Structures are given as C-alpha cells and as structure tokens.
Amino acid sequence: MAPHPPRIGTAGWAIPREVAGAFPREGTGLERYAARFGALELNSTFYRSHKPATYARWRESTAEDFRFAVKLSKAITHGARLVGCEAQIAAFVEEVRAGLAGKLGPILVQLPPSLAFDPAVAASFFAALRRRWSGAVVCEPRHVSWFEPRADALLVEHQVARVAADPARHPDAARPGGWGGLAYWRLHGSPRMYYSSYDEAWLCDLADAVQAQTVETWVIFDNTTSGAAAANALSLQAAVARAGTCARSHPA
C-alpha cells in the first residue's frame, strides 16, 4: 500500500452544476472543492505570476494536509525550451515556495510536443531546477524521443518522475516512468482531449493501478472543458475507496 492515500483531484477547482450536490453549498469555490479533494493542479502558474496575497488566500482556503501541484512557467518550457533559464527557474521556485509554503506539492514540467530529448539540455535544465528545489518534480514529455532508456535514466538521476498521460503519445507514456519515488497521472480525456469523460470500467482499471502503487500517488483529471473532470475524480475516489471490489462491481 502507498504511504498516503492517493491524491485525486482536477486541474483547477471548477465545480460543474451536474456534480455540485457532492460538495458543500457554502464557501468559496476552492473551499468547497477542498472539502472533497486533497489536491489540485495549478495550471495558472504556467501562464503568469501571482501575488503573495493570492497564494495566501489559496493556502488559507484549504486544510493542513491539502497540496497544490504547480505547472512550471511556459516561459521556461515553451519560450526558452529549457535553455539558459536558470534565473527564471529561481524566480519561479521562489514565488511558489514562498506563496504555498508547506502546501506546495510537485512542480510539473510539461514540455511542448516539438521538444525532442537532448541529453545535454535536459541534464543542464534539471540540474538547475534541482539546485533551487529539492521537492517533488514530475515531467510530462510529449515527444517520442523522451521514452527511450537514456531519457528515463536521466530522469531517474535527477529524481524526476515521468507523468502517466492519457491520451498517450507513446505506449510507455500511459504508465508512470522516470524516478520511481512518485507516481503521477495526468488525464486529459480521450478520444477528445479536454472534453471526453472516462467510463466506469476505465476508472476501475485506473483504481486498480493506483492501489498497486507503494509510493506517493497523484491523479489529476484535466478534461475540464466539458466539466467531466470533477465527476471523474469523484468516481475514481469512490472506486479507490471500494478497496479491490471495483472490478467485481463493474465487470469489463
């Protein structure tokens, strides 16, 4: 068993009308979300900085054991493409660490689909990130060259977990990889990314995979455009809580 119950949540904290009854009626959107889920992924950090007061409000809206994953700035991953960005890394880490304090979870490094694995560039980048941040790091590469053994070995060296993503651009992309000290799923919806919902049988299979983990485990639903993410996260939460009876309840 994992040392902590899996952290299940969504990208952002939208609560669609269809599942609103599963959340408290009172409070801010984040307060209501955090009453049901123990984690979320902040994608807004990919696009812009936030004021200290904003982070403080988010911290104060959540329980002590709540955690935020934060997506690394696109200026680093997509603008600089991981090259010559040590000052930007330092500024980003300082902002999110000061802002979220003990509630800061993994830093997510999502790479552009066109960014192929370059050993020298990747080693320099992750070394620079590790000089500033010793906590959890997860990477979602989207070019097939990142699913070769040498790329996996580099991620292991820098203690970077590779995201298990759906849809998967490569067979290995569907499973957690890289450093084995953390398992992190990012589920974008398939066949239509950001829209499609996952059915109960698929979620049962995922629940089995999550329950098999012996390390800290995150599952983030990013199929938010259609509002499916919150419903899928609630269903997965229930499937995991059934502790092994999911497959019997929902046969394939």
In whole angstroms, give the CA distance from residue 174 to residue 84: 31
In whole angstroms, give the CA distance from residue 234 to residue 8: 8
In whole angstroms, give the CA distance from residue 196 to residue 232: 10
Q: What pLDDT shows up at residue 108?
A: 98
Whether 198 maps to a domain, the answer reads yes
> How many domains, in total, are found in the chain?
1
- Does pTM surpass 0.85? yes
The string over 20-41, giving b where at least 16 C-beta atoms fall within 10 Å of a residue's C-beta and e elsewhere, is eeebeeeeeebbbbbebbbbbb
- Rounded to 5°, the CA angle 239-245-250 comes to 70
Q: What pLDDT shows up at residue 3?
A: 64
pLDDT tens across 199-213, in order?
999 999 999 999 999
CATH at residue 203: 3.20.20.410
Q: What pLDDT shows up at residue 4?
A: 77
Q: What is the largest CA-CA distance in the chain?
A: 52
Q: What pLDDT shows up at residue 27?
A: 97
Q: What pLDDT shows up at residue 243?
A: 72
Low-confidence spans in the chain with pLDDT less than 50: 248-252
In whole angstroms, give the CA distance from residue 66 to residue 40: 9
In whole angstroms, give the CA distance from residue 10 to residue 16: 12
The string over 141-171, giving b where at least 16 C-beta atoms fall within 10 Å of a residue's C-beta and e elsewhere, is bbbeebbeeebbebbbebbbbbbbbbeeeee
Q: What pLDDT shows up at residue 252?
A: 34
Q: What pLDDT shows up at residue 2?
A: 59
Q: What pLDDT shows up at residue 220?
A: 98
Whether 1 maps to a domain, the answer reads no
Q: Which domain holds residue 146?
A: 7-249
Q: What pLDDT shows up at residue 207?
A: 97
pLDDT tens across 34-78, in order?
999 999 999 999 999 999 999 999 999 999 999 999 999 999 999
Whether 2 maps to a domain, the answer reads no
| Residue recorded with tokens 């997509």 | 78
Asked if residues 12 and 40 have their Cβ atoms less than 8 Å apart, the reply is: yes
Single-letter code of the amino acid located at 183: A
